[in-house]
Amino acid sequence: MGVLGIVLNKDRFQKELAPKGVKEPTTWDDLLDPAYKGLFLTSNPATAGGGYIFVADQLFRLGEEKGWDYLKKLHTNVHHYTPAAGDGITLTATGEFVAAMSWAHDIVKSAQKGYPIKVIVPEQTAFEIGGAGIVKGGANTENAKKFVDWLLTKPIGEMNTKMSNRYSVRKDVAPPEGMIKIEDVKLANYDRDKASQMKADVVKKFTEMTSK
């Protein structure tokens, strides 16, 4: 399981925002602080899956009216919307911006390379699940079942977590290095079916809102 998070440039934050009394963000709402104006990035929901999931997350956790109000207010702090979710990590890691929204596992990957950044997993964040399935009527169904059973074992869960920095949904597999425990992650009530159905309308409305 992957979750959305905030990437924070520790050096710039300590030099520029901490002296103003700004505390490190722990919620999505903290990013509405005017101190982040022009210093925050997120991705375009029309081009980035993570960008759309972030927008939908706000609508699910706050309700449609308050969610759109949040996105409108956040827009005043956003420097620009990047084409891909990972772009914000690179630009924050190199010190061009103080904070950005992206996938937590990708933030951890960059942090492990020595960049002065950290990952923050806000309350009521959205998530993705990497699933595995068996094709009905396939020629090797029994082998497919064995393969899926193998995928779900603890050793492979640990290998997957180590390689991808994503959470295992097995409770006996430790969280990725640098990430909080999975039981401490507070997920939003994210309706995947509804998110898919409303995507075209949401992207259209978001594009119109941010182009004014």
Q: Residues 101, 154: one domain?
A: no
Residues 37 and 7 in one domain: yes
62 and 147 part of one domain: no
Same domain (yes/no): 191, 171:
no
Residues 193 and 114 in one domain: yes
Q: What are phi and psi of 206, to 5 degrees?
A: -65, -45
Instruction: Tell me the sheet residues that pair with 40.
Output: 78, 99
The range of the structural domain enclosing residue 154 comes to 141-177
Exposed, middle or buried: residue 133 (CB in 10 Å: 0-12, 13-18, 19+)? exposed
Longest dimension (CA), the chain: 64
Do 123 and 50 fall within a single domain? yes
CB-CB neighbours of 200 under 10 Å = 9
Residue 110 counted as domain residue: yes
Q: What is the DSSP letter of 175?
A: P
Q: Which two tokens stand for residue 44?
A: 């375009």
One domain, residues 146 and 71: no
For residue 134, is it within any domain? no
pLDDT value for 199: 97
155 and 72 in one domain? no
Q: How many domains does the chain have?
A: 2
The answer to whether residues 160 and 197 belong to one domain is no
In a domain, 136, yes or no: no
- pLDDT at position 131 is 87
Q: Looking at the domain assignment, is residue 198 inside a domain?
A: yes
The rounded average pLDDT for each run of 10 residues, N- to C-terminus, in the chain (212 residues) is 97 97 97 98 96 98 98 98 96 98 96 96 94 93 96 95 92 92 94 96 97 83
20 belongs to a structural domain: yes
The pLDDT of residue 99: 98
What pTM, to 2 d.p., does this model score?
0.91
Are both 81 and 159 inside the same structural domain?
Answer: no
Q: Are residues 172 and 189 in the same domain?
A: no
Q: CATH no. for residue 40? A: 3.40.190.10
For residue range 22-52, what is the model confidence (pLDDT) as tens digits? 999 999 999 999 999 999 999 999 999 999 9
In a domain, residue 172? The reply is: yes
* 19 and 38 co-located in one domain: yes
Residue 89 lies in a domain: yes
Residue 30 counted as domain residue: yes
Q: Which amino acid belongs to residue 113?
A: K
What CA dihedral angle connects 64, 69, 72 and 75, to 10 degrees? -100
How distant is the alpha carbon of residue 175 from its chain centre?
16
> Cα dist. 61→27, 30, 132 in Å?
12, 15, 28
Distance CA 153, CA 156 (A): 6
